Amino acid sequence: MEILPHAIDGKLVFLAPECRENVPLYWKWANDREVSRLTCGYGSVPSLESMLATYDRQAASDEARRFGIHLASTQELIGRCALKNLNLIVGRGEVSILIGDEKHRGHGCGTEAMRLLCTFGFEMLELHTIFLTVLACNPRAVASYHRLGFRDAGRLREASSRDGQRVDILYMDLLRAELQ
């Protein structure tokens, strides 16, 4: 088994730099209805070629830090996360996370990965504020973010649609001193 480089280690998961070989699995997740339903990418059906092109473009940019989320016990790739829209001058960045396979949701892997990612942002990038958007119809994600110390920062009412219903998009933020 190939040893993956660990950027940040946790008990359940570790974060490793994204690699191009992971894109076909990311593509599979992006085209999974349940994954898509819980993310802001709902309704888009990206092709593998477009996701590879996006990966290549992003890999050449220094505007984000992207990681694969791997189980510590097996090195299995179970998700991805990123710090993006970075403004290092004012110390602000946006986080995103996705646990791709349903069997790995609800066991604390995503919460730990987000904690590792935020710690990286605060300590390595010297960010002061980290923010995110989440759909109000994803209560497990909202609860996870609250456990980490994120606070509600705003709401775009009925700004998206899921399953024929209008849903709100929530804005949440976290200051360095608030990370749990």
Domain membership flag for residue 172: no
- Smallest CA-to-CA distance from 110 within 152, 151, 138 is with 138
pLDDT tens-digit series, residues 67-101: 999 999 999 999 999 999 999 999 999 999 999 98
Residue 26 pLDDT grade (very low, low, confident, very high; cuts 50, 70, 90): confident
- How many structural domains compose the chain? 1
Helix H or strand E segment including 160: strand 151-162
Mean pLDDT of 6-23: 90
Structural domain including 18 reads 8-132
Average pLDDT, the chain: 89
Domain membership flag for residue 62: yes
Please tell me the pTM assigned to this model.
0.89
Separation of alpha carbons 32 and 30, rounded Å: 6
- Smallest CA-to-CA distance from 4 within 74, 107, 52, 65 is with 74
Domain membership flag for residue 144: no
Domain membership flag for residue 165: no
Domain membership flag for residue 75: yes
Domain membership flag for residue 155: no
Q: At 168, phi and psi to the nearest 5?
A: -85, 150
Mean pLDDT of 11-26: 92
Secondary structure tally for the chain: helices H, strands E: 5, 8
At residue 162, the pLDDT reads 80
pLDDT tens-digit series, residues 142-151: 999 999 999 9
CATH number of the domain that residue 62 is part of: 3.40.630.30
